[in-house]
Structure 1
Amino acid sequence: MTETTQDLAAVIARVEEEERELVLPAFTHDDAWRLGCLLVELAEERDLPVTVDIRKGTQQVFHAARSGTTPDNDSWVQRKVNTVYRFGASSYLVGRRHAAGGKDFNEASGLPFQEYVAHGGAFPVRVEGVGIVGVVTVSGLAQADDHALAVEALRAFRA
């Protein structure tokens, strides 16, 4: 099923709002661990085959791969993380913006697919008054579902 321009505009607006909303007062190594554990608990409850990864800066602070994932998910995680840090936005938002422009992300950006992907699942961890300090990433589901799970966990963590 192809997305219409109207569908893409709605998704882009929603994700931009999520990024404005999900700003934390602080983000420590312990916070990264708690957020990762929360994501794994959500995945366990739903029996989801996902890899969960939390970065603080460039340091990988949390990483868990559930049954049903493969080392390929680790590669997807790294490429999504690279995209968030390069573009300062969630990997899903970057991808949907390119799709709305009718462009393939890697072709339009000139960035290699082996290093960057604009598929949903990596979400920037922002701290008030600081900006992006990390990335929370989910890999293993359809891209909209990877993104939604990361957002759900960040929303619950922030509450």
Structure 2
Amino acid sequence: MTEQSVAETLARVESEERELVLPRFDLDDAWRLGSALRATAVERKLPVVIGISLGEARVFHTALPGSSADNDGWLERKSRVARRYGRSSYGVGLTFKARGSDFDLHGRLDTSLYAAHGGVFPITIAGVGVVGTVGVSGLPQEDDHALVVEHLRALRAEMG
């Protein structure tokens, strides 16, 4: 990625982070969101794992053909980044890159526990803040991120 494309992608991701704030989110919403993500992944034959958490509780998890335990590890590491920073894991990684640095080298966190790669988005409720995460792992990071954004956007539209 060129410096310009990093800046442009970061600006888009930051806009998505501001946009994708929900009016509410509960266990039924987690099921609907996770099920919709899974249906799309099945239809597109994507080798992914999908996970949703509320607080520290995993409330939805599925693995599709072609995914592996490694994807579960990536999902958890990216989820820790989203929880810690209250931002998308992709946005955090791009922020480091835009500053000419690297999260793995300069993030001052154990990279066996944290990964600032695309695919996990915080679940943010208006007036409340971050209450959980939704994520995908198994595709290139830009595609993991885009799949989550596509479905958060649809859920937000459905909620009004």
TM-score normalised by the chain length of structure 2? 0.96
CA distance in 1, matches of 2:81, 2:58: 16
Matching residue of 2:73: 75
- Give the aligned partner of residue 7 of structure 1: 5
Identical residues among aligned pairs (%) = 54
Count, aligned residues: 157
Aligned partner of 1:53 in structure 2 is: 51
Counterpart amino acid of residue 131 in structure 1: G
* Other-structure match for 2:151: 153
Corresponding position of 1:16: 14
Pairwise CA distance, 1:99: 1.2
Q: Give the counterpart letter for 1:25 in structure 2.
A: P
Gaps spanning 5+ residues in structure 2: where?
Answer: none
Question: Are 1:89 and 2:87 matched, yes or no?
Answer: yes
Residue 86 (structure 2) pairs with residue 108 (structure 1): no
Which residue pairs with 1:136 in the alignment? 134
1:32 match: 30
Which moved further from structure 2: 109-118 or 97-106?
A: 97-106
Is 1:119–2:117 an aligned residue pair? yes
- Could you tell which deviates more after superposition, 137-146 or 101-110? 101-110
Residues in 2 aligned to 1:89 and 1:21: alpha-carbon distance in whole angstroms: 12
* Secondary structure, aligned partner of 2:114: coil
**How many angstroms does 1:101 deviate by?**
1.7
Cα distance per residue 1:103-145 (max 9 Å; x no partner): 1202101211110000000001110100111100000000000
Note the C-alpha offset of 1:97: 0.9
Cα RMSD, aligned residues only:
0.7
1:78 is aligned with what amino acid? E
Deviation of 1:157 after TM superposition, in Å, equals 1.2
Deviation at 1:57, TM superposition (A): 1.1
Q: Secondary structure at the match of 1:47?
A: coil
Structure 1 length normalisation: TM-score?
0.96
Task: Give structure 1 regions of 4+ aligned residues with deviation exceeding 4 angstroms.
Answer: none
Partner SS state of residue 136, structure 2:
strand
Give the unaligned 5+ runs of structure 1.
none
For 2:106, the aligned partner's letter is A
